[in-house]
Amino acid sequence: MLSAAKPHSRTLTPAFEPLLDLHEAATVLGMHWKTLEGKARQHEVPAFKVGKRWRFRLSSLNNWLEAGLKLNTTDRADVTRQEQHP
């Protein structure tokens, strides 16, 4: 007698975000790869090493840029007031 076959169950795994290498990340950020390498070594930019090579997540770079923009944004009202003074 044959037993009923169980349906094949799949386990859901989270989507893997492709990693950028040093040159790709530098291109995205618009900087020289050596500058980016220095920032990675000094922990100024989100990066990690796989073996001896730096790798970057695009989403982490985007979050890093957004956080930096919020910290460095000039208050438009202050600029407008300064421009209105004779």
52-67 residue pLDDT tens: 999 999 999 999 999 8
Domains of the chain: 19-73 (1.10.1660)
The span from the CA of 61 to the CA of 2, in Å, is 55
Q: Which residue has the higher pLDDT, 9 or 34?
A: 34
Output DSSP code: residue 31: S
Q: Which pLDDT band holds residue 10 (cuts at 50, 70, 90)?
A: low
Q: Which helix (H) or strand (E) segment is 36 a member of?
A: helix 33-41
Q: What is the pLDDT of residues 17-76, one digit of tens each?
A: 899 999 999 999 999 999 999 999 999 999 999 999 999 999 999 999 998 888 876 555
